[in-house]
Amino acid sequence: MPSPVLILENITKRFGPLTANDSISFELGRGEVVALLGENGAGKTTLMNILFGHYVADEGTVEAFGRPLPPGQPRAALEAGIGMVHQHFTLADNMTVLENIALGTQGLLRPKLDRKAALARIRELSDSFGLSVDPAATVATLSVGERQRVEILKALYRDARVLILDEPTAVLTPAETEALFRTLKLLVAEGLSIIFISHKLAEVMAVSDRVLVLRQGRLAGARATAGATRAELAALMVGQEVVSPPVPPAVAGPALLVLEDVTTARRGNATPLDGVTLSLHSGEITGLAGVSGNGQAALAGLLSGMEAPLSGCFEVQGRAFAKWSPATALKAGIARIPEDRHAVGTIGDMSVAENVIAERYRSPRFSRAGFLDWRAARRFAEALIRDYDVKCPSPDARIRLLSGGNMQKLILGRALDPDPVIILANQPTRGLDVGAVAYVHGRLLEARARGAAILLISEDLEEILALSDRVVVVSKGRLSLPSARGERSLRDLGELMAGHREAAHAP
């Protein structure tokens, strides 16, 4: 193993009765890529937040480049050469690329930015590592892939020698993922060390030298990537063999939701729908693939009642609605799994019980004579925690304290109970581990077998191909012709997503 640049010894972190990290030790060598795997809630992000100074460990030490790293000091981590690219980017949308990268690098004695020197440095880094981005562009105008490049440039601009990447490919297209991996190889060749957090086993196998697996806060195993298998790593993550649910042939029924030549209003920089025609059938999963920002948000907003058609025909179970709203959508039998579980799917400072009834608190099930029935709400929350295997201390816990995967399981349970007729599943497995992904897929397939019509919006093309009975691709607010399962390859879909082939109206 190369000489260590990081040494973590016996790191332990507790949050009340929960032990998030339990005596974890490992080393990272110079020019090495170590992948960190584990179920949602296994302690990966907590461990990295300790390393980067956001959290203080209850026990244990961190050593960087031969020196102790002061706990709880992000600036000390940055000065030691540690950079972190978070899964949810930390960029100011109203500022330029150059301003975002240089933000916070000027001392009090030199408060004015030397823009010429900063620009030269950014261009040097961009050219050296294939991180092409316009320094003068406003971040709000950038694609997801370009924003990630800006985050990496921010770390390199500060002379990072260790780079932590938290779910770096979660929102990237296959082409953008390949470009990122090329960049990582260039960085490693220059001696940079990388900690790569991901749930995608194929990517871990492709990019890492070693794999560390966390399970329930402890180090469950370490493997050299060259000698490991995907099945072995998946079993280490969850403690047992992971089997993807079988996908039997669909028996499609009548169309439950129909859009004909639907156009929506433009809102800010978001791409509206442009003459979209689409039908969702009972007992069928329709997969929608596309590069982020090409109209998925407008279509999801339409189905969930946040958007109304500007023109065209929109019917749910054969009925057109004069007024379309979120409440109307719920009454029409549409359930939603929103794209952003933090900003849209949950309210962080409310309890689990409050969150799981948030969309139906006025229904007779949870309301009596105008007052909330908290016993019924609590029973419902307890049932979801039990049935969906949610790691949660109690229904009274603040939902923001849960891991992303456990939040997602609660949202899934809320959406699927009672049995909805139409399901909007928008990025339902984003950021989930392999075991949780298999679980979510199984639940969606159960709903399909019961006759639900499901729209699966995902930027994970493997997920689209694995689950969808029909696939359409959205590009610039328009839909491609639909294709049956197995009719188009991963490359075909990637080309359509990138706009290399003209998208047409779907019949």
Quick one: average pLDDT of 413-435? 87
Q: Write down the mean pLDDT value for the chain.
A: 88
Return the pLDDT at 11.
96
Q: How far is CA 338 from the centre of its chain?
A: 11
Return the pLDDT at 111.
62
Return the pLDDT at 293.
80
Selected from 3.30.70.100, 2.60.40.10, 3.40.50.300, 1.10.246.90, the CATH number assigned to the domain covering 245-333+420-507 reads 3.40.50.300
Return the pLDDT at 21.
94
Asked whether the predicted pLDDT for residue 507 surpasses 60, the reply is no
pLDDT band at 2 (very low <50, low <70, confident <90, very high): low
Quick one: average pLDDT of 407-413? 91
- CB of 41 closer than 8 Å to CB of 436: no
Other C-beta atoms lying within 10 Å of the C-beta of residue 365: 14
- CB of 20 closer than 8 Å to CB of 14: yes
Reported as a single tens digit per residue, the pLDDT across 266-325 is: 987 789 999 999 999 999 999 999 877 889 999 999 999 999 999 999 999 999 998 999
Reported as a single tens digit per residue, the pLDDT across 114-126 is: 788 889 989 988 8
Return the pLDDT at 86.
80
Asked whether the predicted pLDDT for residue 108 surpasses 70, the reply is no
- CB of 287 closer than 8 Å to CB of 464: yes
Quick one: average pLDDT of 377-402? 90
Reported as a single tens digit per residue, the pLDDT across 432-446 is: 777 788 888 999 999
Q: How far is CA 474 from the centre of its chain?
A: 19
Query: Helix (H, G, I), strand (E, B), or coil: what is residue 178?
Result: helix
CATH number for the domain whose boundaries are 4-238: 3.40.50.300
Return the pLDDT at 270.
81
- CB of 56 closer than 8 Å to CB of 93: no
pTM: 0.72
Reported as a single tens digit per residue, the pLDDT across 232-263 is: 888 888 887 777 888 888 889 999 999 999 99
Return the pLDDT at 398.
92
Return the pLDDT at 385.
92
CA dist 105 and 86 (Å) reads: 19
Domain positions in the chain are: 4-238, 245-333+420-507, 349-415
Reported as a single tens digit per residue, the pLDDT across 60-90 is: 999 999 999 999 998 899 999 998 888 777 8
The dihedrals phi and psi of 406, each to the nearest 5 degrees, come to -70, -35
Structure token pair of residue 299: 């279509």
Return the pLDDT at 503.
42
Give start and end residues of each alpha helix (H) in 92-249: 97-102, 115-129, 144-157, 174-189, 201-207, 230-238
Asked whether the predicted pLDDT for residue 505 surpasses 50, the reply is no
- CB of 405 closer than 8 Å to CB of 39: yes
CA dist 221 and 239 (Å) reads: 11
Reported as a single tens digit per residue, the pLDDT across 321-347 is: 989 999 999 999 999 999 888 888 899
CA-CA distances (angstroms) from residue 3 to 28, 32, 65? 8, 10, 10
Q: Where are the beta strands (DSSP E) in 264-390?
A: 276-281, 284-289, 311-316, 319-320, 334-337, 367-368, 371-372
Asked whether the predicted pLDDT for residue 110 surpasses 60, the reply is no
Torsion of CA 171, 269, 507, 450, to 10 degrees: 50
Return the pLDDT at 349.
92
List Cβ neighbours of 172 (8 Å cut-off, separation of 6 or more): 144, 145, 148, 180, 459
